[in-house]
Structure 1
Amino acid sequence: MSIKLIASDLDATFLKKDKSFNEPLFQEVLDKLHAQGGQFIVATGNHVQKVREYFKNFEGQYQLIANNGAEVVLDGELKHVWSVPSEVPAVVDQLVDKYADHVELGLSFVAADKAFMIVKNFNAAHLDFAKTYFQNLTLIDSVSEINEPILKVSLVVPQVEYDFMRDVKTLLGNKVHVTTSGYGAVDIVNPNVNKANALTYIAETLDVEPNDIMAFGDGLNDMEMLEYVGHPVAMTNSDEALFQHDFARSVADNDNDGVLRTILETI
């Protein structure tokens, strides 16, 4: 099988529940892939700096799709950015008030190298986590304090994410693309943003055909990417919606090196 690119989601796919991964096994995969002229791509909703922290021992050995496709980093350099229309943050902020009781912490606005948050329900533990999750997080009172392009608007609304997504689509239509990881987290991005479009950009830049790409995912925000590649793999612990499609399944779940073991059995 000719595999030139392998793209993988992180949370609940590549990473274990504790956010770790089998580093020696990953190095084995990278060595084997690179020996065949292939490359590994991290394709995640996380921001660039967070990914660099996870992969600090593998600098220069992977390519990156960050913020669910809003950013593409090739060979360590930011190559492509897609931002949301300027009116989107204020519209979403107003809508979130309708769901105030369900918001786990606040509404986040992610820029290229920093993030802003309007806290809706203060929770010290959630705020501490947000500060580790978002790069250079600044708490604000109003979207009027933001004066730079926003790549992604995010929030966590457990149990009501699909209702919230429906309202966003009603208000903003095709001005945005709305997606969920399936665990209460909702991301609102530029309508041209998804992991598939970012992966297409990388594939075209590197002159690789979709049929020579393998991809791994577990959630609805991975759907377009899995449909785009020639060798899609849904994790055994995936959102049930992915099992309705004709995707292969990983040999194990994310807590048991499912991505890495499947790659080693394939390439």
Structure 2
Amino acid sequence: MTVKMIAVDMDGTFLNSQQDYDREKFSQLYQVMKQQGVRFVIASGNQYYQLKSFFPEIEGELSFVAENGAYVVSEGEEIFTGEIDPEIIQEVLTILAKFKQGHTILCGKNSAYVNEDEPDSFIEHGQKYYHRLKKVPNLFDVKDDTLFKFALSFPVEQVPEVLVQLHEALGDKVIPVSSGHGDIDLIIPGIHKAHGLMKLQELWGIKNHEVAAFGDSGNDLEMLKHAGYSYVMSNGQPRVKVAAKEIILSNDENGVLLKIEELLGN
């Protein structure tokens, strides 16, 4: 079996519950990947600036499918940037105002934005995933950035119901996907993690059957269906487990690194 590209989701997949990973083991496997010419890609709903902070020594060598595919950066170079039409941004913000239990972060290329009236607890939660997060008086007035995603937060038990309501309210302006922990991302139709992987595959001449992907949540579904080798964590969402070829050990049992070790034949 030939794997030329390994794509990993971060939260609930590559990262353990402490928001970290076995850095020593990864470092050894990364050297093997380099020797074998295997590309390592981080594919996450999170912000590029947050994702690269997990790999300080090598972030300039890696590729990132950030913001669920809306921002793709390879070796420090921008490969793809999505954009939501400014009119649709206004329409979606108007619709979201009716969801009283929800909190909203508006995500752009230069920064993410949050209303300064949001509770401190939510802003602190947001800063974990968005290292560049600006407080603004009104999200409707954010204009000087390329905006490509909404990140919403709801009480966990409401998420299934809210997803249905958002689908109905938003039509096909933006697509709601669950990203775990009560978080829901609204993404550009057709711009998801698999789309980001395809941009990198074009760059490197890698076929779908040469891709291995790892995930745990609804925003990983397209990527798992796209990849020749697809793995879902034992802690993953039930409907995601059905989409993958194999269920592996959880994110707290080094599931991803042990499977990568196996794929590399080490």
TM-score normalised by length of structure 1? 0.92
Pair 1:2 & 2:10 matched: no
1:240-261, Cα deviation, whole Å (9 max, x unpaired): 11222352122x2111211001
Taking the TM superposition and a 5 Å limit, the aligned residue runs for 1:21-100 are: 21-100=21-100
- Which one is further off, 132-141 or 177-186? 132-141
Distance 1:34 1:168 in 2: 43
Out of 123, 140, 155, the position equivalent to 1:144 is 140
Q: Contact 1:179–1:221 (CA<8 Å) still a contact in 2?
A: yes
- Structure 1 residues without counterparts, runs of 5 or longer: none
How much does 1:13 deviate? 0.1
How much does 1:132 deviate? 4.2
Distance 1:52 1:246 in 2: 26
Aligned to 2:263: 266
Distance 2:122 2:174 in 1: 27
Distance 1:214 1:265 in 2: 12
Query: Cα 1:172–1:230, aligned 2, differ >3 Å: closer, same or farther?
Result: same
Q: Secondary structure at the match of 2:6?
A: strand
- Which one is further off, 256-265 or 127-136? 127-136
Question: Once the two structures are aligned, what percentage of the paired residues are identical?
Answer: 26
Query: Cα 1:120–1:99, aligned 2, differ >3 Å: closer, same or farther?
Result: farther
Distance 1:172 1:117 in 2: 21
Distance 1:67 1:231 in 2: 23
Q: Contact 2:49–2:131 (CA<8 Å) still a contact in 1?
A: yes
Pair 1:256 & 2:239 matched: no
Pair 1:236 & 2:257 matched: no
Aligned to 2:121: 125
Out of 100, 104, 112, the position equivalent to 1:115 is 112
Over aligned residues, Cα RMSD in angstroms? 1.7
How much does 1:121 deviate? 4.9
Distance 1:140 1:82 in 2: 22
- Structure 2 residues without counterparts, runs of 5 or longer: none
Q: Contact 2:95–2:170 (CA<8 Å) still a contact in 1?
A: no
Query: Cα 1:56–1:146, aligned 2, differ >3 Å: closer, same or farther?
Result: same
1:159-217, Cα deviation, whole Å (9 max, x unpaired): 22233333333233222222111331111121121100111111111100000010000
Distance 1:182 1:50 in 2: 17
